[in-house]
Structure 1
Amino acid sequence: MNRTTNGRVFVLGFLGIAAAATIAVLFGLDYASTHHGFGFVADAAAGASLDKKAIEDLATEVKSQFQKSVDAVKAIAEEALGKAKSGETISTDLKEKADAALTKMNALNEQLATLEQKVLEGAKGAQDTPKTMGEMFVGDEKVKSFLAQANPRGRVDFQTKATITSLTTDAAGSVGGAIANTRLPGILALPQRRMTVRDLLSQGQMDGNTLEYVKETGFTNNAGMVAEGGTKPQSDIKMDLVSTSAKVIAHYMKASRQVLSDVPQLQSIINNRLLYGLAYKEESQLLNGDGTGQNLLGVIPQATAYSAPGSLADLNMFDVLRLAMLQAALAEYPATGHVLHPTDWAQMETLKDTQGRYIIGNPQGTTTPTLWGLPVVATQAITVRKFLTGAFKLGAQVFDRWTARVEIATENEDDFIKNLITVLAEERVALAVYRPEAFIYGDLDTALAA
């Protein structure tokens, strides 16, 4: 029969229990007091580090020894019963023999139960289970030091207790399941770049897909002094028709109807993130679009290359931008702003003179960034060490065919049968660069090396 005590499985034959109980009654022994383990049991516990096959072999061997011990106990019990029936007095020698037999049987029984438990656990290994008191005792540094003495004397103190942890495993002392998580409300969104290039340009609306405008591409001025009755000189002007089209910028996201119903805030976050994505792409296109395919033809590809209209000693970045302003002014398009990468603008703001004083800017100031009286737009849409100076309002205009919009549909693809929602954001814009001479584009390193 099987018997479970303190979580361990003991396998005892019925005759073994009966014989043990018989001996306990005949000899006046406490059967429970004989039910204890010895060093052999501890050796079996150490089998946790063995593999499953080794543990099973050891269990078979111990089971054989245990059966022999049970047979010995039965023989003693039968002998004692025979003497009791005949009225003979049971000798002290037989009592001692019976006590030794019971002790051995119980020790083997304890060892067998330990080994069978190890087999049931799959021989996980000591590293997967909490350490026993004995393992903690022999592993304690104070105990090791005491036992390492040639002639240990005195006493060594060893104390242990279960450490309360927040682990969610079944380890002793774990209270992880009782700890409530702290959940902050809302959703922490990613940072968003501030879009500023569009604000520099003139704004407009268009009705159709195509944008056309007439552009003056040449002017021959022959105006002169004319004598009375003389022939007047003729001047020439050249006009070209420029045509461009509105380009679509779009993207979408999918979400389940359930999550949008359960998290109302998510709808607005998706909308805002999609609109931000449009603005992010638009800013890059307004500056850098190469005009191929569905790309806009941006300002930088059409801008005039920087060419210093004069030379200065000890040229620095401030001087380069001032000369770019002069170049635009000489083309009759006074500049209205500068575009720089944030890295370059930070470098300019932190430049100091020979006495350690900031040339421009004030660490405690809050004024709008300006240089030579013009606003500075710092954006990562322009490459580091590049600059764009120009008459933005006069030189270019952005047209909206479709202003940025968000649309929701439940019948896209197989959304209906999957309870999905498609959220689409798109816009159609066109860019007209009327006067390429109004924009001066250059490289700071190249300009400083000239």
Structure 2
Amino acid sequence: MSDYKELNDTLKSVSADLTRVSDDLSRKAEAALAEAKNSGNLSTETKAEVDKLITAQTAGSAAIDKITARLEDLEKKGSRRGSSDERAQSVGAQFIGHERMQGISSGSIQANQNLSIPVRNALLSAGVAEGVVEPQRLPGIDVMPKRRLFVRDLIAPGRTTSPAIFWVQQTGFTNNAAVVPEGTKKPESSITFATKITPVVTIAHIFKASKQILDDFAQLQSMVDAEMEYGLKYVEEQEFLFGAGGAGNIEGIVPQASAFAPAFAPERRSKIDDLRLAVLQAQLARMPVDGFVLHSIDWAEIELTKTVDGAYVMANPAQIMGPTIWGKPVVETEEPEFEGEFLAGAFRTAAQVFDREDANVVIATTNTDDFEKNMISIRCEERTALAVKRPEAFVTGPFGQAVAAGG
């Protein structure tokens, strides 16, 4: 654009000079004709001046032809759109160079005076038809974050083909074994049992979607399947931990666990101490602990425990540390009601999960009026049971529980 403007300015200058030469040549020609008429011929001086003006006029015309050709070449290359100087400048240059803006720079325009600067052929976003410029499409679906579910991993797995689990539990053992003199009656011991029945329960939910959306968006169906299965596992974990039982529900571990009753209170007692005291309580019941369940906030507090010198007790933050304490794995839960409490227990030996039907997804189109409406019903369900064989193997309660009587 700077070349175009320079050529345009040169063209104006040469045109002005050529006009001046033509005017001078016309006046000189009239004088020459008058001189020839009066004297019969032209003087040498007059002839030289006329020849000089004719030469200048010829040179000026040639220069104009060259400049005009150059300008046309620039226009063909797209260096210019529109007309005159405004086309040779950007919109910003037009704005700054406009005479009204020059007036602002010199302070000659009043603050309340309207300013209108023409910008030709401006294309705005509002003037573009919808769909012409498409938004960027990110692949996949941004799904919601999910809680990590690990409680099932602590409990012994099992399978069943029945609607209920029937099992026999030893409830007592009276040991009267003793040294017996020769010829005397042997002492009699006794063992007591109880029968237990744990029902297999169904955890399920359904989801409805149109046939069209599932056909048109194939990834949506797999996402729905995954979300529905996660929903089952989330409720399953809540039932395994806190289920109230009765009416075909799961009776969870926490409602059946023994209340935390520490045998003694160590000096400068902390949450780390309470977990060790819970291990002791289960050990005294002859059921060694193999895992803990803690709220995420309580576990974070334990991991951040420091010595009086400011060193971390649990681990070096620069190293990767698994969630373990006292050599036992720790499972975190985000259940609000469990903050400030814990569960310690012999999960692998004192409880067992029995799966009757694994989590599965079934699709149907004949539910009520689904066929008429082109709707699809998606069902996700599982059937499972939890048998807590030794409730005394689990210890639960709040941190800082008072020492048991006689401890």
Q: Write the letter of the residue equivalent to 1:407.
A: V
* 2:198 equivalent in structure 1: 244
2:281 is aligned with 1:327: yes
Q: Write the letter of the residue equivalent to 2:364.
A: A
**1:271 pairs with 225, 228, 250, which one?**
225
Deviation at 1:309, TM superposition (A): 1.9
Deviation at 1:232, TM superposition (A): 1.7
Query: Are the equivalent residues in 2 in contact too, given 1:216–1:238 (CA < 8 A)?
Result: yes
* 3-state SS, counterpart of residue 338 of structure 1: strand
**1:366 pairs with 296, 320, 329, which one?**
320
* 1:290 equivalent in structure 2: 244
* 1:342 equivalent in structure 2: 296
2:370 is aligned with 1:415: yes
Q: Pairwise mapping of residues 50-449 of structure 1 onto structure 2 (< 5 A)?
A: 146=110, 158=115, 160=117, 168=126, 177=130, 179-381=133-335, 383-446=338-401
Structure 2 gap ranges (5+): 1-103
Query: Are the equivalent residues in 1 in contact too, given 2:340–2:399 (CA < 8 A)?
Result: yes
Q: Write the letter of the residue equivalent to 1:218.
A: G
Deviation at 1:281, TM superposition (A): 0.3
Give a deviation string over 1:314-364, Cα, whole Å, max 9, x none.
Answer: 110000000100111111111101110111101111111111111112222
Q: Write the letter of the residue equivalent to 2:171.
A: T
Question: Matches of 1:165 and 1:217 in 2, distance apart?
Answer: 86
Judged with a 3 Å threshold, the aligned counterparts in structure 2 of structure 1 residues 414 and 231 are, in CA distance, closer, same or farther, namely same
Judged with a 3 Å threshold, the aligned counterparts in structure 2 of structure 1 residues 291 and 147 are, in CA distance, closer, same or farther, namely closer
* 2:96 equivalent in structure 1: none
* 3-state SS, counterpart of residue 181 of structure 1: coil
Question: Matches of 1:308 and 1:217 in 2, distance apart?
Answer: 24
Q: Write the letter of the residue equivalent to 1:380.
A: E
Query: Are the equivalent residues in 2 in contact too, given 1:222–1:235 (CA < 8 A)?
Result: yes
Judged with a 3 Å threshold, the aligned counterparts in structure 2 of structure 1 residues 217 and 165 are, in CA distance, closer, same or farther, namely farther
Query: Are the equivalent residues in 1 in contact too, given 2:291–2:329 (CA < 8 A)?
Result: yes
Question: Matches of 2:355 and 2:125 in 1, distance apart?
Answer: 58
Judged with a 3 Å threshold, the aligned counterparts in structure 2 of structure 1 residues 227 and 372 are, in CA distance, closer, same or farther, namely same
Query: Are the equivalent residues in 2 in contact too, given 1:165–1:176 (CA < 8 A)?
Result: no
* 3-state SS, counterpart of residue 358 of structure 2: strand
Judged with a 3 Å threshold, the aligned counterparts in structure 2 of structure 1 residues 315 and 293 are, in CA distance, closer, same or farther, namely same
Deviation at 1:446, TM superposition (A): 3.2
Question: Matches of 1:237 and 1:145 in 2, distance apart?
Answer: 109
Q: Write the letter of the residue equivalent to 1:405.
A: N
Question: Matches of 2:266 and 2:195 in 1, distance apart?
Answer: 40
Give a deviation string over 1:82-125, Cα, whole Å, max 9, x none.
Answer: xxxxxxxxxxxxxxxxxxxxxxxxxxxxxxxxxxxxxxxxxxxx
Deviation at 1:399, TM superposition (A): 0.4
* 2:61 equivalent in structure 1: none
Judged with a 3 Å threshold, the aligned counterparts in structure 2 of structure 1 residues 166 and 226 are, in CA distance, closer, same or farther, namely farther
Q: Write the letter of the residue equivalent to 1:385.
A: G
Query: Are the equivalent residues in 2 in contact too, given 1:218–1:239 (CA < 8 A)?
Result: yes
Deviation at 1:442, TM superposition (A): 1.1
Question: Matches of 1:238 and 1:438 in 2, distance apart?
Answer: 19
Q: Write the letter of the residue equivalent to 2:204.
A: A
Residue identity over aligned pairs, in percent, reads 43
Deviation at 1:180, TM superposition (A): 2.7
* 3-state SS, counterpart of residue 240 of structure 1: strand
By relative contact order (CA 8 Å, sep 6+), the higher-ranking structure is 2
Deviation at 1:159, TM superposition (A): 5.4
Deviation at 1:181, TM superposition (A): 1.1
Give a deviation string over 1:365-404, Cα, whole Å, max 9, x none.
Answer: 2232110111111122471111001110000001011111
Query: Are the equivalent residues in 2 in contact too, given 1:253–1:424 (CA < 8 A)?
Result: yes
Question: Matches of 2:266 and 2:194 in 1, distance apart?
Answer: 38
Query: Are the equivalent residues in 2 in contact too, given 1:285–1:297 (CA < 8 A)?
Result: yes
Query: Are the equivalent residues in 2 in contact too, given 1:320–1:448 (CA < 8 A)?
Result: no
Structure 1 gap ranges (5+): 1-139, 149-155, 169-173
Deviation at 1:292, TM superposition (A): 2.6
